[in-house]
Structure 1
Amino acid sequence: MRKFAFSLLILGEVIYLALICIGGVYYPGYDHGRQYISELGAKGTVTGWAVSWLGFLPSGLLITAFCLIAAFDLRRHVLSAISLCLLAWYAAGLIASALYPCNFECGHATMTLSQWLHDLMSGTGYLTGIVGVFLAGYAARGSRAGWLHPLGIACAIIGAIGLSGVMVDIPYGGLSQRALELVMGIFLLAYGWAFATGRLVGIGGKIA
């Protein structure tokens, strides 16, 4: 089951990367440095339907499934289970991006219900994701994957910096978001590998 869960995570991350790369090719004039990923699935875009339903939705479902399976497997270690639930909420933000696409170019001139729900899910998802990365790494410090602890700290710090760039909407907000998504993906894959290979079995039973 652990290896199956890890395969779901890998597939989800591959789909997510593909939607960013392929969507950017077919979106006229798209700038990865300045534009947000959600703009690829926004209302009124040529890539909107495909990115939302063939990209955001399946990748979100797959990554969420991994987090929930891992949380259930590690349920005896409360901190690990909580951190994975927080990461599951981050992944659920991708599902929300499909169900509640943002306005064209993710503009806020007119705040629609879909835009509001999109911002709410994505914003809270990024926050819980960063906290989840930090806690998951901290919880693994006494296991055979103790290296997840410094990795979690580094990814959480970079993620927080990236999120701050998104929140203040700097000119290169797209680059900030990609830095945030990159470290989230790196940590999840590293954690997933440790989970699949049994390296989260702890010293003194710290990780069940």
Structure 2
Amino acid sequence: MRAADAGLSRLAFAALVAGLGVLLIAVLWGGAVYPGYDHARQFMSELGATGAVTGPSVSLWGFAPNGVLVTIFSLLAAWILRRSALAVVACLLLAGNGVGMTGAAVYPCDFECSRSDPSVAALLHDLFGGLGYLCAIVGVGAAALWARRTDAPLLAPLGVVVLIVSGVGFYGVVAELELRGLYQRAMEVALAVFMLALGWALMKGVRGVRA
């Protein structure tokens, strides 16, 4: 591994850990101070919604930095894996997830993420959030395909599991099932686990096709 890429790998992993950490803290804090909030039945976006007591804090100090840092991680990973077109595409799709989170922070949903007479900001929130999740899911699938030909054998099966969990979670979010909050968190955790595994593999020197 080139020294420059080794340094970028560590920087990328640090950005990812910081991004996931700030999101976790924001959601836990927001859920604790939001009256009657139910993590299992309510979207995370409700914590950053317009009019919510936690709205500006969670959006600006939780969702936005998470999106920016995940984007940074993904773009650095794309550069490190630049010798593989499939890996670059996968990482750019993962970056789309970060961009989606950032956009969803800039344009919060309406109070309690109500769908009745949605504002322009709420429509943009759903657009950014939905496209971000779709990019992440497709990106994990592409990364799993790429990982099959690398010297990081666990990434591929992990990617398949994450693909299934995140696909089911996305369905629960879109269909707004009763436990939609749980479905969303399962998807978020699954995607986070895969990105952490990818970041760790990069630090350990995975770059391309195994011999």
Question: What is the aligned counterpart of 2:76 among 57, 69, 78?
Answer: 69
- Structure 1 residues 124-139: aligned runs within 5 Å: 124-139=131-146
Q: Any conservation in 1 of the 2:172–2:180 contact (CA below 8 Å)?
A: yes
CA distance in 2, matches of 1:15, 1:168: 28
State yes or no: 1:107 paired with 2:108.
no
Unaligned runs of 5+ in 2: 1-7
| Unpaired segments ≥5 residues, structure 1 | none
Question: Matches of 1:49 and 1:38 in 2, distance apart?
Answer: 11
- Equivalent of 1:148 in 148, 151, 155: 155
State the Cα distance separating 1:201 from its structure 2 match: 4.0
Task: Kindly report the root-mean-square deviation, in angstroms, between the aligned alpha carbons of the 2 structures.
Answer: 1.0
Residue 41 of structure 1 aligns with which residue? Answer: 48
CA distance in 2 between counterparts of 1:27 and 1:97 reads: 19
Percent identity for Structure 1 against Structure 2: 43
1:11 maps to which residue?
18
Q: Which residue of 2 aligns with 1:197?
A: 204
1-structure distance, mates of 2:149, 2:19: 28
Paired position in structure 2 for 1:175: 182
Partner of 1:55: 62
TM-score by length of 1: 0.95
1:2 alignment partner AA: S
Aligned length: 204
Q: Deviations over 1:135-176 (max 9, x none)?
A: 112101121212100000110011001111111111111011
TM-score by length of 2: 0.94
CA contact (8 A) 2:81 2:208 kept: no
Q: Which residue of 1 aligns with 2:3?
A: none
**Counterpart selection for 1:81 from 84, 88, 101:** 88
Which runs of at least 4 in structure 1 moved beyond 3 Å after TM superposition?
none
Aligned residue number for residue 91 of structure 1: 98
Deviation at 1:199, TM superposition (A): 2.5
Partner in structure 2 of residue 187 of structure 1: 194
- Aligned mates of 1:80, 1:195 — CA distance in 2: 12
3-state SS of paired residue (1:203): coil
Cα separation, 2, equivalents of 1:48 and 1:97: 12
* Structure 2 residue identity aligned to 1:24: G
